Chains A and B, each alone.
Chain A
């Protein structure tokens, strides 16, 4: 009998899709424009570099169109009474689990662009530098509730052993 980790219970906010799309587009547009300008400005470039520029543009379009959808399918999170469990990634997968009894800080973050879409991220840290768990792109209301709940649970925990 083999066991695997089931996926965490909750999806992130659907607003995350346009947010990821916009932030990916901003970066990709800069890259493509730079490539096109370089192609146009530098004199006597060989013909095959045009193919290169077109490839970059195609990759950028694919990135903007596909990445947010896949990411939305992959990203999941769950906070139980004993542990925090997340899954993230779009090409790769990363699953993180940390016991609530070892949680040291709970931060929430909302960038300017995220505010536009009503999103917020939560980061939970433990005593390990390798262990922070980030739940990306919850809707702001849920994020507030989760932070409040996590803070309540960690505050209620008895004299905790954070393994330092």
Chain B
């Protein structure tokens, strides 16, 4: 049971006494084993002293947080007190609670525990309760979120009734999206996980140096062997193997992350749950959602996939991915439901014109010219073949021209209803829609080059999401008109007419 308002302090779940020592031992096991091995090799007389310390230490340290952490609900606040010598009390007014997120690692779930994180609208300042019994965590979440909208709460439903692992909501939660396993087809086209894979390969290659197969002789005989067979065949096999590994990794990752994914709207919040081993339950108050961002990475676009994030204030990083890689139509549908407007994600954008296209091209080509110049210097220095510089340079220029053109095509802006829409992205197509109410200032900047051709970068500053929405390379007077239309009145006294 969670404490009723006015009750005294409660502790976290006693099962935390199992959780933390296991975690502590997990963290301490390597140094302890190393120490034990070291000691046993250097005489071994102290082994019988070290062993109990090594086992009891983590147990004691693991028990400390449970002994020293208390929380309570008052009529207006939730308070968490922790610490032994330095008492530290965090307080959050209940009407300031913006989000209540639950998370459970595999260990948490075995023990029936949940970690609760309470966001209060101030970035980086979240109250964490690790861990409560799962039922308590759900009850606390329901209580906190319902209390926030207490005035509208239907009479007759009491927080006390909510006791089971599944909260009984006031209004039936409206389902916005649920996992559809046909979406698995997008998993291999989402490259975000490739970074993790590259990291793992990097770690493995560290060990690879120690393996006996990599001495010079085997390397040379392997090389001869490779050259005997067609090099092409070997490369093909490697490529197919890599693809197969990638398929397995990406699909597994997708399943693990988005298992039982469900996005619902309840208590005026968006509520996302998912996860196979570690379950996440994320809540974002809808009043704090100021916009959405739809991203279509290059490969995903080929197969018609997209991702969707909400831009909110008072959430840790402001950008919360609310959909797995899924069909574009699903992302648009959910996005429109969240925005409560049709249009921002589908309306055509106003193009920025040939000058903006020239800048998009030049920006990319300039960067590749720098790389080519560096390559030329290296070639001259090491006296290599100029063929490579020519070929590589040509390829690089073609790629950068393509990227430049793509980045121009993604560029655009619109004012759809009361949303400012900006298109951006180099190879990924990104569309950001921000409620004009969420705009708290404008920045118009012009570099020297932009000034010569009458273009400007317009930035709408906001407290939500990335804190800014950029409309790049738009004609200056269009930028001013757009800003004036998006926030009527703000610019009026600073406007002047041009001839």
A residues with a Cβ closer than 8 A to B are 1-6, 8, 78, 80, 82-83, 85, 89, 91-99, 102, 126-131, 133, 162-164
Contact = CB atoms under 8 A, between A and B. Distances in A.
B441 interface: yes
B468 interface: yes
Nearest to A127: B463
Interface in B450-493: 450-451, 459, 461-464, 467-468, 476-477, 480-481, 483-484, 487, 489-491, 493
A96 B441 contact: yes
A2 B498 contact: yes
Nearest to A84: B441
Given A99-B490, A127-B313, A130-B443, A93 B461 contact: no
Contact of A131 (B290, B441, B487): B441
B41 interface: no
Contacts of A4: 476-477, 480, 495-498
A151 to B, nearest CB: 19
B441 A98 contact: yes
A133 B463 contact: no
Contact of A5 (B445, B448, B451, B491): B491
Interface residues of B, number: 42
Contact of A93 (B314, B451, B490, B498): B451
A96 B442 contact: yes
Contacts of B290: 163
Nearest to A6: B496
Among all A-B residue pairs, the 8 with the closest Cβ atoms = A131-B461, A98-B441, A6-B496, A130-B468, A127-B463, A128-B461, A102-B440, A95-B444
Interface in B121-177: 121
Contacts of A131: 440-441, 443, 461, 467-468
Given A99-B440, A164-B121, A130 B459 contact: yes
Contacts of A82: 489-490, 493
B446 A85 contact: no
Q: Is the interface of B mostly helix, strand, loop or mixed?
A: mixed
Contacts of B496: 3-6
A3 B121 contact: no
Contact of A2 (B313, B437, B451, B497): B497
A102 B313 CA distance: 14
Contact of A162 (B442, B463, B480): B463
Given A4-B480, A85-B494, A129-B467, 13 more contacts: A2-B498, A5-B480, A93-B444, A94-B445, A98-B440, A98-B441, A98-B461, A99-B487, A128-B462, A130-B443, A131-B443, A131-B467, A163-B438
B385 interface: no
A160 to B, nearest CB: 11
B228 interface: no
Name, among B450, B463, B495, B498, the residue most crowded by chain A CB atoms within 10 Å (CB to CB). B463
B242 to A, nearest CB: 40
B491 A162 contact: no
Nearest to B489: A82
B440 A163 contact: yes
A80 to B, nearest CB: 6
A24 to B, nearest CB: 18
A97 B447 contact: no
Nearest to A1: B497
A91 B494 CA distance: 23
A129 B461 CA distance: 8
B494 A83 contact: yes
B467 A130 contact: yes
Contacts of A5: 444, 480, 491, 494-496
Contacts of B494: 5-6, 8, 78, 83, 85, 97
A99 B441 contact: yes
B493 A83 contact: yes
B443 A95 contact: yes
Given A128-B468, A163-B440, A164-B121, A93 B445 contact: yes
B495 A126 contact: no
A8 to B, nearest CB: 8
A129 B462 CA distance: 8
Given A127-B313, A163-B313, A94 B444 contact: yes
Nearest to B483: A97
